A = this chain, B = another copy of it.
Amino acid sequence: MSEINILGEAYKNAKYKATGHGPRNVQVLKDALMEIDEELESEMYGKGKVIDDFQEKMAKYLGKESSVFFPSGTMAQQIALRIWCDQKGIKKVAYHPLSHLEIHEEDGLKKLHHIQTILLADKERVIELEDVMGLDEEISCLLIELPQREIGGQLPDYKTLEDISAYCKQKGIKLHLDGARLFEILQYYQKSAAEICSLFDSVYVSFYKGIGGIAGAILAGDKTFTVESKIWKRRHGGDLISLYPYILSADYYFEQRVGKMSQYYQEAKEFARCFNQCHGVSTKPLEPVSNMFHVHFEAPKEEMEVILAAIYEETGIGLTSYVREVTQTTSYYEVSIGDLYSQIPKEDLRKVFLLLDEKMKTIKIL
């Protein structure tokens, strides 16, 4: 534990940070509320101007008939899959082995909705058309996460998406988009959100990843689907009397940052190139397709913590507050480029990579 603290402390003390938009503190909420008229009334249990306006705006942005604001993506996505399963009468869905639903939700989908899951593709790559065509059981819904976060944020070809969409339509399989980071990939595909969403029957997007809001999600689809999702939202305990603190901040940071996603993407590519020039360091994917990627070190977690902490102290630049073990001799961390990256003086950043390269060369294990 003490090593964790070394890195965490060094990161905290660093003058510049290479990842994210800044601390997740109360200022984030205060900024979002600053210009809001204090007499603006709360919505009441999902009804009212604040929530209606935002739902309408996001439905339009995503090119869907209707949308519903949820406190979390966990809730929104379980509900989407439940609706599609109930509609078809088959409680079976397919998704990637590292889907958020499979590894981060304490099996809510199985424990609350009794939905069976089929894991497609292997852990190291995205789902391809062949995986879907190779399914030998009938499913109600296929969930595709764009980008696939747990493998560094990877994407299939757009053609693959189109083919999967056409195949699912033909086979009567509903296609759901886990778009937690949808805003972040538009630049790579050179498509609008609505164009991508048109390939899917239902779509979830998040407002606290690249957008940097407080919490909250939107689930979009046709009207019949969203009306049913509101009933499930109440069943889950997500139909709060007031969700406006999340809605107002989602809207505020959406306006602030949705136009900056291509900047973050360009910066992520530049940043990844620097890592890939260092001895014993590589990124996944090699060239990012969004604002995110993973940095893999050919060195054990404990050793990397010491190396990185020393670099932060020397340069004043913090890269990450943690490193995770992959094997006994390798480790990684996740990068999400946000507002902070562009504040780092280029010269200081160069020094970071000179030091990193140098220190990695001294590691015996390599």
* A interface list, Cβ under 8 A from B: 23-30, 33, 36-42, 44, 70-76, 78, 105-108, 111-113, 208, 214-215, 231-232, 234-246, 248
Q: Are B236 and A75 in contact (CB under 8 A)?
A: yes
From B24, B27, B38, give the contact of A25 (CB < 8 A). B38
Residue in chain B with minimal CB distance to A234? B106
Q: Are A238 and B40 in contact (CB under 8 A)?
A: no
What residues of B have a CB within 8 angstroms of the CB of A42 in the complex? Answer: 24-26, 28, 214
A108 to B70, CA, bound (A): 16
Q: Are B37 and A26 in contact (CB under 8 A)?
A: yes
Q: Are A26 and B38 in contact (CB under 8 A)?
A: yes
- Which of A29, A39, A113, A246 is most buried by chain B, counting CB atoms within 10 A of its CB? A29
From B33, B113, B237, give the contact of A71 (CB < 8 A). B237
Residue in chain B with minimal CB distance to A24? B42
A242 to B241, CA, bound (A): 17
Given known A-B contacts A105-B234, A242-B215, A26 and B75 have beta carbons under 8 A apart: no
Q: Are B235 and A108 in contact (CB under 8 A)?
A: yes
Q: Are A74 and B239 in contact (CB under 8 A)?
A: yes
A157 to B49, CA, bound (A): 44
Shortest Cβ distance from residue A37 to the other chain B in the assembled complex, whole angstroms: 7
Q: Are A108 and B236 in contact (CB under 8 A)?
A: yes
Shortest Cβ distance from residue A251 to the other chain B in the assembled complex, whole angstroms: 13
From B36, B74, B113, give the contact of A234 (CB < 8 A). B74
Sample of 14 further A-B pairs with CB below 8 A, known A23-B39, A30-B38, A245-B246: A24-B241, A25-B41, A26-B42, A27-B39, A33-B33, A71-B71, A71-B238, A71-B240, A72-B240, A105-B234, A108-B237, A112-B113, A112-B235, A237-B238
Given known A-B contacts A33-B33, A214-B242, A72 and B41 have beta carbons under 8 A apart: no
What residues of B have a CB within 8 angstroms of the CB of A235 in the complex? Answer: 105-108, 111-112
- Which of A29, A214, A236 is most buried by chain B, counting CB atoms within 10 A of its CB? A236
Residue in chain B with minimal CB distance to A74? B237
Shortest Cβ distance from residue A236 to the other chain B in the assembled complex, whole angstroms: 5
What residues of B have a CB within 8 angstroms of the CB of A26 in the complex? Answer: 33, 36-40, 42, 244, 248
Q: Are A112 and B236 in contact (CB under 8 A)?
A: yes
Q: Are B245 and A214 in contact (CB under 8 A)?
A: yes
From B36, B234, B240, give the contact of A215 (CB < 8 A). B240
7 contacts between A and B (CB under 8 A): A24-B44, A24-B242, A25-B41, A33-B33, A108-B237, A112-B112, A215-B240
A353 to B108, CA, bound (A): 54
